[in-house]
Structure 1
Amino acid sequence: MFFDSWDGIIQVLILGTLAYCAIIAILRISGKRTLAKMSAFDLVVTVALGSILATILLSKDVALVEGVAAFVVLVVLQYGIATLSVRSKTIEKLAKAEARYLLRDGVIDRDALRKERVTREEVLCAVRSNGFGDLNDIAAVFLETDGTFSVVSQEKAGTRTAFPDPQA
Structure 2
Amino acid sequence: MPVTSVRYFPENLTEQMRAMPVVQLQLISHRGYPSLGHSWSLFLPSNNTLQSGIQIDILPSSAPAPEETEPGVYKTTMEVRYGLARSSPGATNGAPLHRETLGVAPGLIVRDFVDALRRVGAHHYEFTVPITGDVAWVQDQVSVFHARSLLADADEVLRAVRNVRLDYSTDPPRVPSNRGSEGLYYP
- Higher relative contact order by CA 8 Å / sep ≥ 6: 1 or 2? 2
TM bin, normalised by shorter chain, reads: under 0.3
Return the TM-score normalized by structure 2: 0.22
More helix by proportion, 1 or 2? 1
Return the TM-score normalized by structure 1: 0.24
Structure label with greater radius of gyration? 1
More strand by proportion, 1 or 2? 2
